Chains A and B, each alone.
Chain A
Amino acid sequence: MSTQNFFQSELNRRAYLSYAAKSFLGVSILPWVTNSPAIGAGLGLNRPVNYAPKAKNVIYLYMSGGMSHLDTFDPKTSEVKGPMGQVKTKTDGIALAETLPLLANHSDKIAVIRGLTSTKGAHEQGNYFMHTSYDKRGTIVHPSMGSWLTRLDGRFNPTLPGAVVVGTGNQHPLSGFLSTQHQPLKVGAPGKGLANCEHKGFDEDTFNRNLNLSKNLDQAFVQKYNLAKVRSYADIYEDAVRLMRSKDLDAFDLTKETQGVRDAYGRDKFGQGVLLARRLVEKQVRFVEVQLGGWDTHNNNYERVYERCDILDQALSALLDDLHKRGMLEETLVVLATEFGRTPDYNLNEGRDHYPKAFSCMLAGGGVRGGQIWGATDEEGREVVDGITQIPDFNATIAYALGLPLDEIVFSPSRRPFTLVDKGQPLTQLF
């Protein structure tokens, strides 16, 4: 298809320019490249004419388990609040729960979205829906945002993966029906860097010779079984070898940061993962997701949310501060998301149960105006009374910030048509 070929050459040209810029000029001319009308026009029809997308990268912080909205971003004064208090922020009109004191100092950078609503109250379904904007079915796996991003808009760094995820199990984010080249790279433990990147014990020539021998010995098998699942390994081998040889590999090495910076983010897996995300985004890895679990507070809600927020507050504030100081905040969209909220009423175990009807998420940077609240719930946090936002709309907003085409149709291998965020409409008023 001619659009495919055009697309391919777009990517190659962009990659070449980026690389050339780096080697010849020592700087990245990416902003110029992407704003050029020929390339920046994208491929979809639903491009806002009066808005030039600012976000190039996404740092996606996923709170897994269902983060209680009342105890974080949507505090209340009525009885449902339980023992939770509030904290005043730098911005008039924005109050956060007392669990997020450090973030309160950065209220001028964030947009709190309080009107999220969903019908999916189970973890698997909610997690899937938030990551893909589609319902989980047994018959197909939809891609998550990072994979869509590299599929529709390409990678900027040809040697590093387009998307990375820190701290997750076997659930999303995944590349779904897109090719495995768009699979986010999983990093289990951020402190350890990327494991197994060096061929210790072989020199480069020996390594290449052995790899060649392996390919040759495998030829008969690969020819007989010319199936996608077999070929995908060949592609991944190429990506892996390119990654091994990448000069940007030390992006994964946190020991290159000072102790002070590492302490600022918090010496836990999540904090260090967020620091890793910042480093990767600097090397043009476009989508980094960091997951923090333990939010499923059916028991002892107050203590456990406090515990989680200790970690979250520290890492998120450090990130916003860091991005701001390095001038990266406009290019980097920071997303805080979760699958659903929690019940306003406490249960018998002093916990809160699942509550998808109303919950909160947060956006920052990437062209989003800071210091604003969008949407509101009633005084008990039960219903959304203003600015109701469906999950596909939330995801559409992320896509909008990146300048992705919302109506581009991509076909799965089984020839079903899909768009990036199903029928979601972006919250353009946030920008």
Chain B
Amino acid sequence: MIHLFIILQFLLLFFPIFLAAKSLQFSRGELAKEVAAINKILKDEHAQRGITPPGKLSNSLLVRRVYLATAGRIPSYSEIKDINPFNQPELKQVLIDKLLESKAYQSQMFNWWADHLRAKSYITGQANQIGAGHLYVDWLKTQVSENVPYDEMARQVVASEGYPWKNGAVGYYLRDDGMPLENMSNTAELFLGTQLVCAQCHNHPFDKWTQMEYYQMAAHTYGMVTRMQGKTVDGIKKLAKDFKKRGNGMQMMSMTSKPDQLEKQARAFRQAVQDMLLPLQFGAQHKDRKLKLPHDYKYDDGKPHQVIQPGVIFENGNDFNSSKSSDLVNQYAQWISSPNNPRFTKVVVNRIWKKIFGRGLVEPLNDWREDTEASMPELLDHLSGLLVRLDYDLREFQRVLLNLSIFENQAFDQELESLAPYYFQAPTLQRMSAEQLWDSLLTLVVPEIDHRQPKEEEVDFLESKKTNLEKYRLKVEGMSSVELFDVIKEGRKQIVEIQEQINAINARMKKAVELDDRESLGKLKRLQNELRDNQRFALASQIMGSEFNVYSMYKNYPPKRKRKPSEEERKFPTYLRRASEQNSPANADHFLREFGQSDRDLINNSRKEASIPQVLNLMNGNLRWRLIDKHSPLAKAVIKEESLEQKIKIVYEAMLQRSPTEKEIELCENSLPFPDLPTAPAFKDSHTQKQKAQMNQKAKKQMEHYQNRVHNELRHLAWALLNTREFSFIQ
């Protein structure tokens, strides 16, 4: 009986999560009520201020805006054709719901989260050596796909602990390795929209925070250390020290007595021991260490080196009475993410509002002060209440905002000063973000872009990394110090052997340099790197056996294997993936970075200003060829039509999501040297069957020729549209 009761409790406890993960919360009726309430607030505000909202967007442009806001890209041509025009409001709602539950939504939400959590595939800090960045990104993608509520995410990262392959959320601490105070500043900026960072060294120059308060906040998480400690790690470290003391015994092992050779071997050995430890070292763990005031603390409310008691900066009735780090961190996480916290809810409401309408109710987003006021305080309060009622389900919250009446209006067309109040009679005009732009180009170039599979070997590699790191940890923790000692002794031999091999390679490389033999040099360099890796992994290999893929623990990507690209890959190379499937962030000279994708070193650091490399890319970059080459969805749609006017319409609809005006069609036809439509064969009664067949053949060939020439000119049209503001801005 008791078991049944427990199971029932468990189900009841977790049932909401099962619901929230998969389906939308509100019924149509409930949604309509919520939307109506907010519509009314806005309408009253506008009436009071004598503001007339701009006109409504045309249906097709509204589709464009809906797609960009929910799917992070423009709709593909086939998607456009599948949608019935929005004559009934329900059809718009149906589209929004469909998109919110799609993979496309997850892709763009990942971008938003990665910008805010600063989740990088390659983190600075030593944990990068076991791929902790990739593990963090992987964890984040899982959370996004399960639509984990915002407050839970906050608690998951702030109170994370353990190894990065078991709990990717510890990436939150690992990416600020060695900078625990800055980590707290980032937490305050992200979740509380509050700039504390200046108060690290002195009382804050323009806000009310004191240095004491800064340290009191940081005291909550100071116990989180990013180096895992324990019997095993300490044991190995001790063994390594003993070896060092005894001179590593290298002379016994090696075939040389030359001091520099011995030094090389000794260094290689030390490196190998370090590498043996590496997988066990990184993560987040509680240590009961106390934060002290700095040695040059100059205010009279404390003394240098004084131990700090944790304290929070807003009073919302929490009593932190534990001194145990794990309790403290959990209470702190609860305090941050509580609906009673004066800033937690407002800050994220404001961020999401800006995401959809292009500007916050409060600007700037990251610098809330005591006297900060929203342009429409009643609206901000109402929205905050809504988010709390939704249990911080960001997807459902966006669902409400997307259905507001102002979302259907044409973008505001007046200049807005950065601090001027704005009352949101319409979304503001924004350029597409770097990710939206890239993803939109891909939509034109690659069919079914949301379902592009990542490279199989990359997926497998990440999975094997997680499995193998855990296997390794279990094995090593189960070894006695005697066994470890033996491993290190054995491993030393191997290291010395490999060093001999490396020396041989070095000699050959010297020769190759003399002969300026670049090809051999390249090959030898690769061999040298391989041998160095073997040396580094020697001890781990020793422990796990030759079958074990040591590489998967220490590297960030699978070894490059030369294989024939598949049919699909030849048509659409693998680099044509959505922004969320690239490295986070993309490489420094990638399209995405040129267009201002956040470097994810700072919170929310993306930009939309114009720059020369951007327009050079649009004018001369690689993607413009693919827009309408024979594989692209655009080309396939265009071929189906015969008339030139129809073809031009298709290009317009696919790229700008609207029909061209008469004037525009005329302009295109006049500017580009389109050929004339070939005339149909004029059959006469005097023509024989054979002659007629021949004439048909000829006509067919002429039509093909015509199609090709038209297609050629349409490339230029596509280029021209690509380089308009209308394409890259969202009206």
Which A residues are within 8 Å of any B CB, using their own CB?
119-125, 135, 137-140, 161, 167, 169-171, 180, 183, 185-186, 188-189, 192, 194-201, 206, 209-214, 216-218, 220-222, 224-230, 232-237, 239-240, 243-244, 294, 296, 298-299, 349, 351, 356, 413-414
Contact = CB atoms under 8 A, between A and B. Distances in A.
Contacts of B195: 138
A176 B365 CA distance: 18
Contact of A218 (B588, B617, B725): B725
B719 A170 contact: no
Contacts of A186: 594, 611, 613
Contacts of A239: 612
A64 to B, nearest CB: 10
Contacts of B558: none
B260 interface: no
Given A195-B589, A224-B413, A225-B729, A244 B616 contact: yes
B417 interface: yes
Contacts of A194: 613, 616
B198 A122 contact: yes
Contacts of B43: none
Contact of A240 (B365, B612, B724): B612
A227 B413 contact: yes
5 contacts: A170-B602, A213-B720, A237-B615, A240-B619, A349-B178
Contacts, number: 188
A232 B609 contact: yes
Contacts of B414: 227
Contacts of A224: 413
From A183, A196, A229, A356, residue with most partner B Cβ within 10 Å: A196
Interface string B397-416: 00000000000000101110
A213 B178 contact: no
B367 A138 contact: yes
B178 A299 contact: yes
A243 B612 CA distance: 9
B613 A122 contact: no
Contact of A229 (B417, B431, B598): B431
Nearest to A201: B625
Given A170-B607, A233-B615, A221 B415 contact: no
Contacts of A227: 413-415, 429
A221 B725 contact: yes
Interface in B185-204: 185, 195, 197-198, 200-202
Given A192-B589, A296-B124, A169 B599 contact: yes
Residue of B599, B615, B617, B664 with most chain A CB atoms under a 10 A cut-off = B615
B681 interface: no
A226 B412 CA distance: 11
Nearest to B589: A188
B200 A211 contact: no
Q: Tell me which of B177, B418, B594, B607 has the highest count of chain A C-beta atoms within 10 A of its own C-beta.
A: B418
Contacts of A220: 661
A233 B610 contact: yes
Contact of B667 (A195, A213, A235): A213
A213 B613 contact: no
Q: Which 8 A-B pairs have the closest CB atoms?
A: A188-B589, A138-B364, A298-B178, A169-B599, A218-B724, A138-B367, A214-B720, A221-B726
B725 A233 contact: yes
B716 interface: yes
Given A199-B619, A210-B716, A236-B610, A119 B202 contact: yes
Interface string B657-683: 000010010011001100000000000
B721 A229 contact: no
B447 interface: no
Contacts of B664: 217
Contacts of A170: 596, 598-599, 602, 605-607
A214 to B, nearest CB: 4
Contacts of B198: 120, 122, 125
B179 A356 contact: no
A33 to B, nearest CB: 26
A413 B415 CA distance: 11
A244 B606 CA distance: 27
A299 B599 CA distance: 23
A218 B195 CA distance: 42
B731 interface: yes
B290 to A, nearest CB: 14
Most chain A beta-carbon contacts within 10 A, residue among B198, B201, B594, B725: B725
Residue from A171, A210, A413 having most chain B Cβ neighbours under 10 A? A210
B601 to A, nearest CB: 6
A168 to B, nearest CB: 9
Given A180-B611, A196-B619, A200-B620, 6 more contacts: A138-B365, A169-B588, A194-B613, A221-B729, A239-B612, A298-B179
Contacts of A188: 587-589, 593-594
Contacts of A138: 195, 363-367
A414 B197 contact: no
A226 B456 CA distance: 47
A301 to B, nearest CB: 11
Contacts of A171: 599, 602, 605
Contact of B178 (A137, A212, A351): A351
B723 interface: yes
Nearest to B599: A169
Given A139-B364, A217-B664, A237-B615, A196 B620 contact: yes
B716 A206 contact: yes
Contact of B613 (A119, A125, A185, A413): A185
Nearest to B414: A227
B419 interface: yes
Contacts of B702: none
A144 to B, nearest CB: 14
B418 A140 contact: yes
B621 A196 contact: yes
A68 to B, nearest CB: 14
B413 A195 contact: no
A216 B621 CA distance: 22
Contacts of A212: 671
B533 interface: no
Contact of A221 (B125, B365, B625, B731): B731
B182 interface: yes
Given A217-B667, A230-B729, A180 B610 contact: yes
A218 B667 CA distance: 12
A199 B620 contact: yes
Given A213-B720, A214-B721, A195 B612 contact: no
Nearest to A232: B610
Contacts of A135: 205
B719 A214 contact: yes
A232 to B, nearest CB: 5
B126 interface: yes
B618 to A, nearest CB: 9
B613 A196 contact: yes
Interface in B138-163: none
Contacts of A210: 716, 719-720, 723
B343 to A, nearest CB: 15
A228 B415 contact: yes
A22 B436 CA distance: 45
A169 B601 contact: yes
B608 interface: yes
Contacts of B229: none
Nearest to A227: B415
B206 to A, nearest CB: 8
Nearest to B718: A210
B509 to A, nearest CB: 16
B201 A356 contact: yes
B614 interface: yes
Contact of A122 (B178, B182, B418): B182
A28 B198 CA distance: 48
A19 to B, nearest CB: 21
A81 B588 CA distance: 36
B716 A119 contact: no
